[in-house]
């Protein structure tokens, strides 16, 4: 190769191991990822890269595995400020007696801003580059994520009851439509519609949400079939299972993300398959609230796209998506009665490419392929708890703690360098969090 075949690029990341996610199930060694602007320009061996590229900057990650940034597809980010406030309670008691009263008292724009920043700091430290949020004051969350350079799907809340954010469905929908108009087409922020759950939203607002989704192309995300109690109450009140009611109202479709789905009978499964809706599995929240277990392998065997989320820090109580993957893999095996269910590579796919599919952005996110957006992370495997290395994919799912994540880039911009956050002022954030703690305690 001659000098005129050498191409200039911005950065080169040398990886000891690389898991591109596409093609599926492979681990490459001694690879280079070439970044140009916000995109991945190339993925190739280091020896080929020496001949082909001249870059302004090289990052040597010779003890690390490099992979796509993780996508946490369900959470309530600002609830990080309620982490550990109320534990060991079933869902309805937890919501009615603890979470909803605390929210009524404390949730405000400054609360959401600080809670979102706290959640983003934790997610960035543990490998998440894209998250989904469903909470009050979504305009604050959207701006905070954009300012921090994190990718986020921001679902505005929709329910029958009045809250700090609005007087009822009409106002939520009006404010939500404005949110969609403001952010639609943005590279970082994906505005979406977040009907809380079938038991908190009546038919008319759900129909209005579907109309808004059809008009704008925005996704719908809702909690669905979280507990057996939800199904029993719905059968008593309406005579049909929530999934059936959602299908009849037009809520289920290719642009819909159903969170939880711990209760699934054959008719539910058939309707999910027919609709093309995505499932967001949140195993730790389901375990902690004793809600039930989602049959992940069975859903995947039926061709349903399954992805993963942590849920809010008040019901988890962390936002470490690697930890969630381990739980998901373990739970899937027990539920399927099969140790081969949800293998390590499949689990990694849940948190990357499947998340991108649910967001409708699989052409741009979720794998390390030339032309895609440069959202990637590195995990340092040199710590004793990750040694020896036979199979990096195994370590990422079964042995990893998200804290081994050392680097991340979003849109080609470094967000985490040797474990240090580049765009969030952590000491200042900790001061704000301790002020909230004082206020909530008193």
375 near Zn ion (CB under 5 A): no
CB of 133 to Zn ion, least distance (A): 10
Q: Which is nearer to Zn ion, 17 or 165 (CB)?
A: 165
- Quick one: 46 exposed, middle or buried, by C-beta within 10 A (0-12, 13-18, 19+)? middle
Does 23 sit behind a cis peptide bond, omega within 30 degrees of 0 on the bond before it? yes
Strands 7-18 and 28-36: antiparallel
Alpha-carbon gap, residue 423 to 148, rounded angstroms:
6
Please, which of residues 272-301 interact with Zn ion by CB under 5 A?
none
Q: Which is nearer to Zn ion, 230 or 311 (CB)?
A: 311
Q: Which is nearer to Zn ion, 284 or 311 (CB)?
A: 311
226 near Zn ion (CB under 5 A): no
- Stretch of 46-54, 90-98, 311-319, 369-377 contacting Zn ion, by CB under 5 A: 311-319
- Quick one: 218 exposed, middle or buried, by C-beta within 10 A (0-12, 13-18, 19+)? buried
**DSSP string of 410-441?**
ETTEEEEETTEESSS-HHHHHHHHHHHHHHHH
Q: Which is nearer to Zn ion, 300 or 313 (CB)?
A: 313
311 near Zn ion (CB under 5 A): yes
- Stretch of 149-157, 178-186, 305-313, 401-409 contacting Zn ion, by CB under 5 A: 305-313
- Stretch of 182-190, 308-316, 356-364, 368-376 contacting Zn ion, by CB under 5 A: 308-316
Contacts 24+ apart (CB under 8 A), 22-29: 22/353, 22/366, 22/367, 22/368, 22/369, 24/345, 24/349, 25/345, 27/65, 27/391, 27/392, 27/393
Q: Which is nearer to Zn ion, 247 or 313 (CB)?
A: 313
Q: Give the position of tokens 């492979």.
A: 26
- Stretch of 2-10, 15-23, 309-317, 322-330 contacting Zn ion, by CB under 5 A: 309-317
Q: Which is nearer to Zn ion, 281 or 357 (CB)?
A: 281
Q: Which is nearer to Zn ion, 317 or 367 (CB)?
A: 317
CB of 74 to Zn ion, least distance (A): 6
- CA-CA-CA-CA torsion for 124, 127, 131, 133, nearest 10 degrees? -60
Q: Is 240 helix (H, G, I), strand (E, B) or coil?
A: coil
CB of 108 to Zn ion, least distance (A): 20
CB of 320 to Zn ion, least distance (A): 17
CB of 2 to Zn ion, least distance (A): 57
Q: Is 260 helix (H, G, I), strand (E, B) or coil?
A: strand
- Count the residues of the shown chain that bind Zn ion, applying the rule CB under 5 A: 1
Specify the DSSP element, H or E, that contains 176.
helix 169-183
CB of 5 to Zn ion, least distance (A): 52
Give residue number: closest CB to Zn ion. 311
**Helices 169-183, 138-148: crossing angle, 10 deg rounding:** 20
Q: Which is nearer to Zn ion, 99 or 177 (CB)?
A: 99
Alpha-carbon gap, residue 244 to 57, rounded angstroms:
54
CB of 99 to Zn ion, least distance (A): 11
Positions in the binding site for Zn ion (CB under 5 A)? 311
């Amino acid at each position: 190769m001659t000098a005129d075949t050498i191409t200039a690029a911005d950065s080169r990341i040398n990886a000891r191991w690389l898991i591109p996610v596409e093609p599926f199930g492979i681990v490459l060694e001694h690879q280079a990822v070439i970044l140009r602007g916000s995109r991945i320009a190339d993925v190739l061996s280091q020896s080929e890269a020496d001949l082909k590229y001249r870059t302004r900057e090289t990052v040597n990650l010779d003890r690390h595995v490099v992979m796509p940034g993780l996508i946490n597809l369900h959470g309530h980010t600002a609830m990080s400020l309620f982490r550990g406030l109320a534990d060991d309670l079933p869902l309805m008691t937890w919501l009615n007696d603890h979470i909803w009263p605390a929210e009524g008292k404390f949730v405000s724009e400054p609360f959401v801003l600080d809670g979102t920043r706290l959640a983003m700091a934790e997610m960035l430290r543990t490998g998440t580059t894209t998250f989904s949020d469903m909470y009050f004051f979504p305009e604050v969350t959207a701006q905070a994520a954009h300012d921090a350079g994190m990718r986020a799907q921001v679902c505005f809340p929709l329910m029958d009851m009045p809250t700090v954010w609005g007087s009822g469905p009409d106002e939520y929908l009006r404010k939500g439509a404005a949110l969609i108009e403001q952010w639609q087409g943005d590279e970082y922020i994906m505005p979406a519609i977040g009907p809380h759950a079938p038991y908190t939203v009546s038919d008319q607002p759900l129909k209005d949400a579907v109309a808004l989704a059809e008009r704008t192309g925005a996704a719908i995300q809702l909690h669905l079939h979280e507990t057996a109690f939800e199904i029993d109450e719905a059968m008593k009140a309406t005579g049909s299972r929530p999934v059936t009611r959602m299908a009849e109202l037009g809520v289920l479709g290719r642009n819909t993300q159903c969170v939880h789905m711990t209760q699934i009978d054959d008719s539910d499964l058939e309707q999910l398959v027919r609709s093309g809706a995505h499932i967001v599995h949140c195993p730790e929240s389901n375990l902690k609230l004793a809600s039930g277990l989602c049959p992940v392998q069975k859903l995947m065997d039926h061709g349903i796209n399954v992805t993963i989320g942590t849920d809010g820090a008040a019901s988890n109580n962390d936002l470490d998506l690697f930890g969630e993957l381990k739980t998901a893999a373990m739970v899937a095996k027990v539920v399927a009665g099969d140790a081969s269910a949800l293998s390590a590579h499949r689990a990694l796919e849940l948190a990357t490419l499947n998340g991108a599919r649910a967001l409708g952005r699989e052409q741009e996110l979720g794998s390390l392929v030339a032309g895609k957006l440069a959202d990637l992370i590195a995990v340092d495997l040199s710590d004793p708890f990750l040694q020896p290395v036979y199979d990096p994919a195994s370590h990422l799912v079964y042995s990893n703690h998200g804290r081994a994540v050392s680097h991340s880039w979003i849109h080609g911009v470094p967000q985490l360098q040797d474990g240090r956050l580049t765009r969030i002022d952590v000491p200042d954030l900790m001061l704000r969090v301790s002020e909230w703690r004082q206020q909530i305690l008193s």
